[in-house]
């Protein structure tokens, strides 16, 4: 993992993200791209009426100073950190930054469990997840001695999840983490017998050209199953697919993706479907 993007708004949550990124950077020799998006718009930058150029310069200088203070931390010693300032919040620009710098991961901070419902619907973290072509790791608290030895990835084993599966498998290999693949079987219309579940899984893995052991985990809901399974194997991280522009709310059915992130005690990383 050569480069990691960390969106920064100078909040406590973005420091949690920076600390997690720093732990990964030290382990894998990565460079951190600290990205801050100013609240300017095009009119502010170009208009000569009502807004003076010196005000723009002032805001840029202020951001640069805050960056310098924010990045002057002992845990960043020995890590190459490159500050990047964008004039305004255009979250699709994350892909441009990622492509330009060949970044392989975005680490994003979000609020604690009480605020995640709000954060993941129509907010910065949700917009990043919707727009990013590379994996997005969302952390909501400070992670002590952060490392990823065991990575649980939940999959429905339908064809549309093939791309997300391949991304997750490559991600686990890049981290040298155990890739624990799980299918959550729930009561109701979506219930599958073991025979039918393994038939679907085997067809999927054949198309993916992957020889991978899969756990079929029975629970009352997909959310509970993913959380309980991940905790039972002492996973360090949960991976879930997301439909990009449709956001986390369309993962499997309803708002399961948001609920997983909301109730998970461990970090959650998303992989775009398609």
CB atoms within 10 A of CB 224: 17
Per DSSP, the three-state class of 145 is: coil
Please give the structure tokens belonging to residue 196. 């039918």
pLDDT tens digits for range 50-101 = 555 666 677 778 878 888 889 999 999 999 999 988 876 666 778 888 999 9
pLDDT at 126 over 90: no
Global pTM reads 0.82
pLDDT at 119: 41
Confidence of residue 33 (pLDDT cuts 50, 70, 90): very high
Handedness of CA 223, 224, 226, 231 (dihedral sign): positive
pLDDT tens digits for range 238-272 = 998 877 655 444 444 445 655 676 677 789 998 88
pLDDT at 39: 63
Domains and CATH numbers, the chain: 3-139 (3.40.50.620), 150-272 (3.40.50.620)
Please give the structure tokens belonging to residue 129. 């997840």
Closest C-alpha to 105, from 218, 239, 235, 260: 239
Confidence of residue 131 (pLDDT cuts 50, 70, 90): confident
Q: How far is CA 26 from CA 71, 111, 146, 147, 167, in A?
A: 15, 25, 11, 11, 23
User: What mean pLDDT value characterizes the chain?
Assistant: 82
Q: Mean of the pLDDT values across residues 219-240?
A: 93
Confidence of residue 194 (pLDDT cuts 50, 70, 90): very high
3-state helix, strand, coil in the chain (%, to 5): 45, 20, 35
Tokens 């509970």, residue located: 224
């Amino acid at each position: 993992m050569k480069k990691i993007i960390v969106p920064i708004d100078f909040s406590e949550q973005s420091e949690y993200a920076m600390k997690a990124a720093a732990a990964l950077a030290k382990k894998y020799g990565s460079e951190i791209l600290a990205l801050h998006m100013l609240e300017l718009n095009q009119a502010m930058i170009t208009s000569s009426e009502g807004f003076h150029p010196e005000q723009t310069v002032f805001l840029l200088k202020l951001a640069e100073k805050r960056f310098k203070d924010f990045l002057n931390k002992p845990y960043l010693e020995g890590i190459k950190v490159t500050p990047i300032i964008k004039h305004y919040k255009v979250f699709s620009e994350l892909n441009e930054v990622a492509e330009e710098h060949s970044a392989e991961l975005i680490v994003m901070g979000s609020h604690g469990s009480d605020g995640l419902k709000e954060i993941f619907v129509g907010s910065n973290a949700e917009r990043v997840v919707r727009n990013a072509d590379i994996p997005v790791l969302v952390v909501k608290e400070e992670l002590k001695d952060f490392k990823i030895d065991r990575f649980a990835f939940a999959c429905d084993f339908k064809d549309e999840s093939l791309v997300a599966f391949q991304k997750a498998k490559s991600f686990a290999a890049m981290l040298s983490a155990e890739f624990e693949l799980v299918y959550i079987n729930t009561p109701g219309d979506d219930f599958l017998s073991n025979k039918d579940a393994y038939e679907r899984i085997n067809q999927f893995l054949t198309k993916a050209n992957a020889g991978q052991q899969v756990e079929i985990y029975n629970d009352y809901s997909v959310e509970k199953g993913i959380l309980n399974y991940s905790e039972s194997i002492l996973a360090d991280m949960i991976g879930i697919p997301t439909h990009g522009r449709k956001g986390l709310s369309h993962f499997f059915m309803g708002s399961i993706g948001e609920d997983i992130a909301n109730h998970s005690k461990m970090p959650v990383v998303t992989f775009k479907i398609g």
